[in-house]
Amino acid sequence: MLRITVAQINPTVGDFAGNLALMRAAAEAAQRDGAELVVFPELSLTGYYPGDLLDEPAFLAAVDAALAELLAASRATPGLNWVIGAPTRRDGPGKPLFNSLLVIADGAVRLQYAKQLLPTYNIFDERRHFEPGPDANRVLRIGPWRIGFLICEDGWNDDGRDYVVNPFQRLAEAAPDLIVSINASPSNIGKREQRHRLFAAASRRHDLPLLYVNQVGGQDQLVFDGASFAVTPQDGVVFEARRFADDIRTLGFDGARFAAADGDALPTVDPAGLPVMAFYRQQIVLGLKDYARRCGFSRAVVGCSGGIDSALTLALAAEALGADNVTAITMPSRFSSAGSVDDSVTLCRNLGVQLITHPIRDMVDAYAGGFATAFGAPLAGLPLENLQARVRGTVLMEYSNNYGHLLLTTGNKSEISVGYCTLYGDTNGGLGLIGDLYKTEVFALSRHLNEAAGREIIPAAIIDKEPSAELAPDQRDTDSLPPYPVLDALLKVLVEGPRLGQDERAAVEAEYERLTASAEGAALVARIRGLIARNEYKRRQAPPILRLRARAFGSGRQMPIAARHLF
């Protein structure tokens, strides 16, 4: 029986010493388990994705040094084959870079394979830095077994259609006993199930077992969920590693089936996976943990308005970083309701988070008075509303600068889509936790947190109150926007479109068609389209947003600011 260790690790981009330490520890565990093969994720040596660091000579020199160190480390695990991901160069410095898979053992490279399909869609831009690899030998004999190797995207062209380049098909023609695929596959809602469907179908089509090893952890706006898995032609997905956590697991493979390291049967894999709200929660919590850790933050600060968005952001931050490491600041103005202030107190008491009160009325009056004196006109209406948000944003940035806290912005996807936010005000911050959640999902996730805790973490008064920015007398969000269930259905079609999951797309497209059937509804759709287009400049200046859905703002949706839109 071939013993294979799945090394689902959490590498950091550019942290060669840290990544090498993770790889050494996994290899040592593999050797203790008697494994012949230890498999790491794509670009595990550098972390995924290095971006334009790959253009830096010093970075590439560090890659070379780390590879040499890794080769030396492999001598300490005789007989163990390390399957790693790293950038390589053809024929030395100045030559094209490849996104490569290397099999190393006993201080030598036994196999080298360069990724052929380089994704350039959605969040990916690998063709910017790498050249496609040649259709080279990707099969290695380990004992009696012939193992074939792929890198991430190379396996995604095998869906039954006729492609010019299909590395999976070419590898299958070599008739290996097992295919091993190394991956850095970012997580979004429905992605795990998509992987399972695609690779289980390919396994059946070619009558080949497959092991898929994925990265875990948060890197900038991306979160990798791990969830490495094994499939067989007969049984589909038979093994799955932990989601949203490191996992080092040794499996047995007998040429047809996978088993636990001790030979026992593997636990049954739940095809349903996590419920949607549980998925959102875990993805956000891991994303914040790693973002803060990698950027050197141990504490966070959040502006606490008494509204649902800041309440959910605070609750998620407290879960990720610990309540003692989160500070809330409430900044009442003349338009803040007593209920909102009281709700902030209750929320922070429930969470165990420190709440600091910093009234802004005098500051707003001073700014407004100075404006009137200098420019001969009083501030009123929208400029006065925005001034309040900007004063709050300034206070939060002052606190962040002074105490070294990471400021978390609290905007949701509905408001960010249509520009219902104040640039240099509530858009201030270093990271957005809920910027890929629509407003209706913000409410749903808040209820989920309460249900999961079995108590009221986010007060019902916050969940049940009508949304309001509280920047003007008796203000309600519906003064400026359609009801959020209607708005969110439109936004899902207009922003995400075909990237929605099948069930979700059917529901929102039905609402979209109902609205556009009337002149009034068509006018509303046209207005929302215009708001989305006109507010690209705000989104371009906003902090990074943790990606939860297939099309998130940021690198996953690249729109021009200065353009004449055809609608």
Q: Where are the beta strands (DSSP E) in 423-467?
A: 431-432
Which among 66, 53, 54 is positioned nearest to 21, based on CA atoms? 66
Q: What residues are paired with 88 via a beta bridge?
A: 98
| Kind of pairing between the strands at 300-303 and 222-225 | unpaired
- What pLDDT shows up at residue 187? 97
Please say if 42 is a catalytic residue.
yes
Q: Look at residue 15 in the predicted model and tell me its pLDDT.
A: 97
Mean of pLDDT values over 167-187: 96
Q: What is the pLDDT of residue 473?
A: 73
Give the tokens for residue 375.
């420019």
pLDDT of residue 534: 92
Q: Three-state DSSP class for 530?
A: helix
Show the CA angle centred on residue 75, arms to residues 69 and 81, nearest 5°: 95
pLDDT-derived band at 163, boundaries 50, 70, 90 = confident
pLDDT value at position 118? 95
Q: Catalytic pick from 36, 115, 304, 470? A: 115
Give the 3-state secondary structure percentages of the chain, helix then strand then coil, rounded to 5: 40, 20, 40
- Catalytic residue at 304? no
pLDDT of the residue at 222: 97
What sign has the CA pseudo-torsion 438, 426, 280, 48?
Answer: positive
Which one, of 364, 353, 343, 347, lies nearest residue 317 by Cα? 353
User: Is the pLDDT at 509 greater than 90, yes or no?
Assistant: no
Question: Which residue has 């959102």 as its token pair?
Answer: 280
pLDDT of 165 over the 90 cut: no
Per-residue confidence (pLDDT) for residue 94, from 0 to 100: 61
Q: What CA–CA distance (Å, rounded) separates 277 from 279?
A: 5
pLDDT per residue as tens digits for the range 467-503: 776 677 777 878 888 999 999 999 999 999 888 887 7
The pLDDT, as a whole number, for residue 159 is: 76
Q: What is the mean pLDDT of residues 140-165?
A: 90
Identify whether the C-beta of residue 403 lies closer than 8 Å to the C-beta of residue 299: yes
pLDDT per residue as tens digits for the range 27-57: 999 999 999 999 999 999 999 999 999 999 9
pLDDT in tens, 423-452: 999 999 999 999 999 999 999 999 999 999
Q: What is the pLDDT of residues 293-350, one digit of tens each?
A: 999 999 999 999 989 999 999 999 999 999 999 999 999 988 777 777 899 999 999 9
| Predicted local distance difference test score (pLDDT) of residue 241 | 97
Q: Look at residues 214, 222, 46 and name the one whose alpha carbon lies nearest to residue 123.
A: 222
Q: Output the CA torsion 384→387→392→395 (10° steps).
A: -140
- Tens-digit pLDDT profile for residues 224-268: 999 999 999 999 999 999 999 999 999 999 999 999 988 888 999
Task: Name the region of 321 (left: φ>0; alpha: ψ -120 to 50; beta: rest).
Answer: alpha
For residue 42, the Cα-to-chain-centroid distance in whole angstroms is 17
* Residue 209 reports pLDDT greater than 90: yes
DSSP annotation of 557: B
Q: What percent of the chain has pLDDT over 70?
A: 98
152 labelled catalytic: yes
Q: What is the pLDDT of residues 108-126, one digit of tens each?
A: 999 999 999 999 988 999 9
Phi, psi (degrees; rounded to nearest 5) at 50 = -70, -20
Q: Distance of CA 35 to CAs 22, 96, 217, Å? A: 17, 34, 25
Contacts 24+ apart (CB under 8 A), 254-262: 254/1, 254/2, 255/145, 255/177, 256/209, 256/232, 257/209, 257/232, 258/209, 258/211, 258/230, 258/232, 259/1, 261/3, 261/33
* ∠ Cα 261 263 267 (to 5°): 80
Q: Which pLDDT score, from 0 to 100, does residue 504 have?
A: 83
Q: Which residues of 128-153 are buried (b: 16+ CB within 10 A; e: fewer)?
A: ebbbbbeeeebbbebeebebbbbbbb
Q: Which of 36, 131, 152, 413 is catalytic?
A: 152
- Read off the pLDDT of each residue in 176-183 and give the average, rounded to a whole number: 98
State residue 95's pLDDT score. 67
Cβ neighbors of 281 (< 8 A, separation 6 or more) are 316, 319, 445, 448, 449, 452
Question: What local confidence, expressed as pLDDT, does residue 567 receive?
Answer: 59
